[in-house]
Amino acid sequence: MNTKVARINSRLYFDLYTRGGDKLIAVYSILKTSRNDEIKYYAYTAKNNKFISGYSLLRAKTNLTLHSIQKYVPILIDMELCFIDKNGDFVLLGNSKLKLKYNGKLVPVKIGSTLTETVYNSLTVRLFSAEKSQKTQIEKKQTRSEIIAYGSKKLSKYYDKKYGHNLEVNEKTVLSLQGFGDLKHGENNNIRDIKSSGAYYKKKLREKGIIKTKREFKKLEKSTYLNYLQMKKYFTIGRKITYKNGWIVEEQISSFSTVSCNLISTPISEPIKPVLIEENTVSLEVKEEYKRKKYLQVDMIDFWINGGNN
């Protein structure tokens, strides 16, 4: 069975996310791909002579529950992305009209067998972008480090002055529990304990095979286990210090990677290319609400607003 993929404009993806999170994105994606290439969902008369239209029509034609339809479709109607016509047909705004309202590149959302699966596939889009952005930043830092060490005298001096001789290069892509929470809920949320929420979603993503994580440790001191137990009471509260393979170590933020088989592998007409925006080069037109997210190594302004356009 071929996997269905909803290709959503990056600006529209962001608008849906800010209005209703991943569930709204998932509902819209399912509605968009369940029409079987027809212009709209046509109302019809069932075998029991009952006229099926509007929300009941969507319930009959999709795997969405009536509760989800009643909760999220009104938001889509308010966004002028769809409407119910006088015949009871459900009409989604076509691609040509969408382009007049939104521009930019396309974000692929894989349709799962359930709404929940599609919700996690929507979150995967942002995870993948965060990972790719970090990898690009790592490559830039590695290049700078190599230039300082092995480049021409003129370039080495320039990069040494700009970035420092001991340029630290982290080769792992990382995301803290706070980062997972913010990536799921956004920075403006009412979640009381965002780290606990992040831990929950990190666990779920790992269980679903969407990401792989690896615990990372920093060696502090070579020691015997007995010496570690004697020193344990002096460790600062809050630091995750433990004993591992003959060393006293401190646990760092776990590295993570997205699993390629769960990402969209089918080609899209305009692939996402998160662009690094160097300091003091951000356009004055960028709104205050799209500020840099601290838990990412680079910002996602280009991804959210311009869809990756250079």
Tens of pLDDT, residue by residue over 223-234, are 888 988 888 888
Task: Indicate whether 90 belongs to any domain.
Answer: yes
What residues contact residue 263 under an 8 Å CB cut-off, 6+ apart?
110, 124, 128
What is the average pLDDT across 30-43? Answer: 88
Q: Which domain holds residue 224?
A: 213-256
Choose one of 256, 275, 290: the last residue of a domain. 256
pLDDT band at 104 (very low <50, low <70, confident <90, very high): confident
What is the average pLDDT across 181-191? Answer: 73
| Separation of alpha carbons 257 and 60, rounded Å | 38
Report which of residues 70 and 47 the model is more confident about.
70
Give pLDDT, residue 274. Answer: 35
pTM: 0.68
Give pLDDT, residue 170. Answer: 56
Report which of residues 134 and 59 the model is more confident about.
59
pLDDT band at 43 (very low <50, low <70, confident <90, very high): very high
Report which of residues 215 and 45 the model is more confident about.
45
Which range, 111-120, 126-135, 146-155, is most confident?
Answer: 111-120
Which of 38-42, 122-126, 142-146, 211-215 bottoms out in mean pLDDT, i.e. has the lowest? 142-146
- Distance, first Cα to last Cα, the chain: 36
Which of 3-7, 56-60, 162-166 bottoms out in mean pLDDT, i.e. has the lowest? 162-166
Task: Indicate whether 126 belongs to any domain.
Answer: no
pLDDT band at 188 (very low <50, low <70, confident <90, very high): low
Task: Indicate whether 67 belongs to any domain.
Answer: yes
pLDDT band at 144 (very low <50, low <70, confident <90, very high): low
Give pLDDT, residue 293. Answer: 37
Task: Indicate whether 100 belongs to any domain.
Answer: yes
Task: Indicate whether 38 belongs to any domain.
Answer: yes
What residues contact residue 40 under an 8 Å CB cut-off, 6+ apart?
85, 89, 90, 91, 92
Choose one of 256, 274, 290: the last residue of a domain. 256
260-294 pLDDT, tens digit per residue, is 545 444 333 333 333 333 333 333 333 343 343 33
Report which of residues 243 and 136 the model is more confident about.
243
Give pLDDT, residue 242. Answer: 87
Task: Indicate whether 190 belongs to any domain.
Answer: no
Nearest to 255 by CA among 218, 228, 294, 224: 218
Which of 212-221, 245-254, 255-264 bottoms out in mean pLDDT, i.e. has the lowest? 255-264
Which of 9-13, 82-86, 236-240, 245-249 bottoms out in mean pLDDT, i.e. has the lowest? 236-240
- Output the CA–CA distances (angstroms, integers) from residue 17 to 61, 74, 123, 186, 223, in the order listed: 24, 15, 10, 9, 49
Give pLDDT, residue 284. Answer: 34
Report which of residues 186 and 148 the model is more confident about.
186
Task: Indicate whether 229 belongs to any domain.
Answer: yes
**What domain count does the chain have?**
2
Choose one of 95, 114, 133: the last residue of a domain. 114
Task: Indicate whether 192 belongs to any domain.
Answer: no
Give pLDDT, residue 272. Answer: 35
Give pLDDT, residue 275. Answer: 31
